[in-house]
Amino acid sequence: MTAQTLVHTPPTSPRVVAVYGGSFNPPHIAHALVASYVLGSHAVDTLIVVPTGQHPFAKDLTSHAHRVAMCELAMRHLRNVEVSAIEAELPTPSLTLHTLQALQARMPDAQLRFVLGTDLLPETPKWHAFDRICELAPPIIVRRARYPAGGVSGPELPEVSSTQLRERLRKGLSTEGYLDREVAAYIAKHGLYR
The predicted-structure confidence for 70-87, as pLDDT tens digits, reads as follows: 999 999 999 999 999 999
Q: How confident is the model at residue 105 (pLDDT cuts 50, 70, 90)?
A: very high
Classify 139 as helix, strand or coil. Answer: strand
Could you tell me the residue ranges of all domains in the chain?
16-190
Task: List strands edge to edge, sheet with 81-83.
Answer: 81-83, 46-51, 16-22, 111-117, 139-142
Residue 1 has pLDDT above 60, yes or no: no
Residue type, 106: R
**Nearest Cα to 193, choosing from 22, 20, 27?**
27
Q: How confident is the model at residue 65 (pLDDT cuts 50, 70, 90)?
A: very high
CA distances from 82 to 31, 117, 129 (A): 13, 19, 26
Instruction: Report pTM.
Output: 0.87
The average confidence (pLDDT) of the chain is 88
CATH classification of 16-190, choosing from 1.10.10.10, 2.30.29.30, 3.55.50.30, 3.40.50.620? Answer: 3.40.50.620
Residue 173 has pLDDT above 70, yes or no: yes
Q: Which residue has the higher pLDDT, 62 or 56?
A: 62
Residue type, 9: T
The predicted-structure confidence for 141-151, as pLDDT tens digits, reads as follows: 998 877 666 77
Locate all alpha helices (DSSP H) within the chain, ordered by sequence.
29-41, 64-74, 96-106, 130-136, 162-170, 181-190
Classify 3 as helix, strand or coil. Answer: coil
**Nearest Cα to 127, choosing from 94, 160, 151?**
94
Give the mean pLDDT of 31-56.
92
Q: What are phi and psi of 127, to 5 degrees?
A: -75, 155
Give the mean pLDDT of 108-131.
91
